[in-house]
Amino acid sequence: MLIIEPLDYSNQYDHHQLHRHDYFEIILVHSGEGTQLIDFSNYEMAAGQIFTIYPGQVHLMKRNSAQGLLIQFRKDLFELIYSMKHYQLYFHSPSVQIDAASFDHLYDLTQRMRMLLEDERLPMVSIHKTYNYLQIILITLVECYDQKINFQAQHIVSEFLSLLTQHIHEKKKVADYCKMLNCSHHTLNSACKNGLGKSALEIIHEELLLEIRRLLLLNKLTLKEIAYELNFDSQANFSGFIKTKTGLSPSDLQQSLYGYCYRSK
In this structure, the answer to whether residues 83 and 210 fall within a common structural domain is no
pLDDT in tens, 197-220: 789 999 999 999 989 988 988 878
Which domain-ending residue is among 146, 166, 189?
Answer: 146
In this structure, the answer to whether residues 22 and 138 fall within a common structural domain is yes
CA distance 73 to 6: 15
In this structure, the answer to whether residues 82 and 195 fall within a common structural domain is no
Q: What percentage of the chain carries pLDDT values higher than 90?
A: 52
CA 40 to chain centre: 12
**pLDDT(10) > 80:** no
Q: Stretch 235-259: mean pLDDT, rounded?
A: 89
In this structure, the answer to whether residues 130 and 19 fall within a common structural domain is yes
Integer angstrom CA distances of residue 164 from 75, 146, 173: 15, 21, 11
CA distance 246 to 8: 37
pLDDT in tens, 84-105: 777 778 787 899 989 999 999 9
In this structure, the answer to whether residues 168 and 251 fall within a common structural domain is yes
Domain coverage including residue 102:
2-146
Ramachandran bin of 45, using left for φ above 0, alpha for ψ from -120 to 50, beta for the remaining angles: beta
The domain spanning residue 52 has which CATH number? 2.60.120.280
**pLDDT(261) > 60:** no
In this structure, the answer to whether residues 225 and 251 fall within a common structural domain is yes
**pLDDT(263) > 90:** no
- pLDDT for 63 equals 87
In this structure, the answer to whether residues 185 and 109 fall within a common structural domain is no
User: Number of structural domains, the chain?
Assistant: 2
In this structure, the answer to whether residues 174 and 259 fall within a common structural domain is yes
Buried b (16+ CB within 10 A) or exposed e, 196-223: beeebeebbbebbbbbbbbbbbeeeeeb
pLDDT in tens, 109-121: 999 999 999 888 8
In this structure, the answer to whether residues 7 and 85 fall within a common structural domain is yes
Residues contacting residue 76 through CB under 8 Å, at least 6 positions apart: none
The domain spanning residue 235 has which CATH number? 1.10.10.60
pLDDT in tens, 35-65: 998 888 889 999 999 999 988 888 888 888 9
In this structure, the answer to whether residues 122 and 225 fall within a common structural domain is no
In this structure, the answer to whether residues 11 and 69 fall within a common structural domain is yes
Looking at every residue in the chain, the average pLDDT score rounds to: 86
Which domain-ending residue is among 98, 116, 146?
Answer: 146
In this structure, the answer to whether residues 24 and 122 fall within a common structural domain is yes
Which domain-ending residue is among 115, 146, 177?
Answer: 146
* Confidence class for position 168, pLDDT limits 50, 70, 90: very high
CA distance 30 to 35: 14
Residues in a beta bridge with 70: 5, 27
CA 246 to chain centre: 23
